[in-house]
Structure 1
């Protein structure tokens, strides 16, 4: 899945010379957490978060606060430089950027101009969709040897039972280089016959681990 499929557009934006009070109003009006800051050519020069604004905004609970800070430019509190991504980047790469840099959003640029924004919420929602968990289904986790042909064999067993697969993904088993976990989400609320058959073919089903089925 590509970034252009999940990004928000058009996006709210500000220039470096706009005031902090304007940023506060936009965050509240649009119920958003981040605002890209762009120059006159629409190139991203910074990013402003609700936390940046909140930290700079005087508390109504404390007397003698300096409310003049709201008249300062957003450039005084924005984060710069900014990591950006391209609309044709893969969302898996974006997830890695979020994790490695501990950030919660990335502006999306094309030809160096802002075209959208992706937040961690956008990314998480799409990753949930990719797992198929939003559909009525059952999940099966199978420990398999890490070798060619295993995944087609497992999916063929599922297909021969006329069961549709909502999603499939593979991840390493602990720190092993010789074993993998195949996670299947199948469109049935009774996975027990399929689990039994997988075990009869010699596969170790680690979830759900139902006592009494064939080993």
Structure 2
């Protein structure tokens, strides 16, 4: 999945000479947490967060606080330079940037122009889609040897039952490089028949592991 498929194209922006008061108004009115700062060519030159604006704003708890600070230009508090991503970047790859840099949003830039923004909320919803948890389904985890061809081999068990697989994930098995865990989500509310098929085929189920096998 590419960034262009999940990014928000309707980006609220400001120029560098806009005031902190304007930024505060836009953040509250649009219920957003970040505003990219762009120049006349729509190039990203900075970004401000709701925290930046709060920290720069006079405290409502202090009587006679200096309200003039709200008229300062936003470029005085913006963060720069800004890490950006491209619309054709893969979502899985930019997830690493969110994690490593602890960002809450990333501007999306093409030809040096701002065309969108991706937030941590967008990333979380994408994870929900990729894992198939947004549709009614059953969850099955199978411990398998780490060898070529094992995924289609296990998937064939579901195929024989004509079950629709909505997502497949592959996890490491603890610290043992000889095994991995295949995580399937299948569109059925009665997974017992395929669970029994998997056991009969000799596979070890990590989940569900509390459903007894068929009586012999």
Q: TM-score, normalised by structure 2?
A: 0.96
Structure 2: how far apart are the matches of 1:175 and 1:113?
44
Secondary structure of the structure 1 residue equivalent to 2:176? coil
Query: How many angstroms apart in 2 are the aligned matches of 1:110 and 1:16?
Result: 20
Cα distance, 1:211 vs structure 2:
4.1
Q: Distance in 1 between matches of 2:190 and 2:212?
A: 15
Match of 1:75?
75
Q: Check if 1:175 corresponds to 2:175.
A: yes
Residue aligning to 1:50: 50
Give the match for residue 132 of structure 2.
132
- 1:130 deviates by 1.1
Partner of 1:87: 87
SS in 2 for 1:69: helix
In the TM superposition, residue 10 of structure 1 has moved relative to its aligned partner by 2.5
Q: Does 1:162 align with 2:144?
A: no
Residue 153 (structure 2) aligns with: 153
Structure 1 ranges of 4+ moved more than 6 A: none
Question: 2:63: which partner in 1?
Answer: 63
Equivalent-residue separation in structure 2 for 1:56 and 1:70 (angstroms): 8
Could you say what secondary structure the match of 2:118 adopts? strand
**Paired residue total:** 214
- What per-residue deviation string (whole Å, max 9, x for no partner) do you get for residues 171-207 of structure 1? 2111222111100000011111111111111111111
Counterpart CA distance in 2 for 1:136 and 1:10 is 31
Instruction: Tell me by how many angstroms 1:212 deviates.
Output: 2.1
Secondary structure of the 1:79 match is coil
Aligned equivalents of 1:72, 1:176: Cα separation in 2:
57
1:200 matched residue in structure 2: 200
State the distance in 2 between where 1:87 and 1:212 align.
48
Paired with 1:176 and 1:34, the residues of 2 have a C-alpha distance of 42
TM-score by length of 1: 0.97
2: CA distance, partners of 1:24 / 1:147 = 55
Moved more, 179-188 or 203-212: 203-212
Structure 1 residue runs of 5 or longer lacking an equivalent are none
Alignment of 1:9-48 (within 5 A): 9-48=9-48
* Equivalent-residue separation in structure 1 for 2:46 and 2:175 (angstroms): 39
Two-structure CA RMSD over aligned residues (Å): 1.0
Q: 1:169 & 1:71 partners in 2: Cα distance?
A: 51
CA distance in 1, matches of 2:173, 2:212: 25
Give the corresponding residue for 1:120: 120
Q: Greater CA deviation, 37-46 or 59-68?
A: 59-68
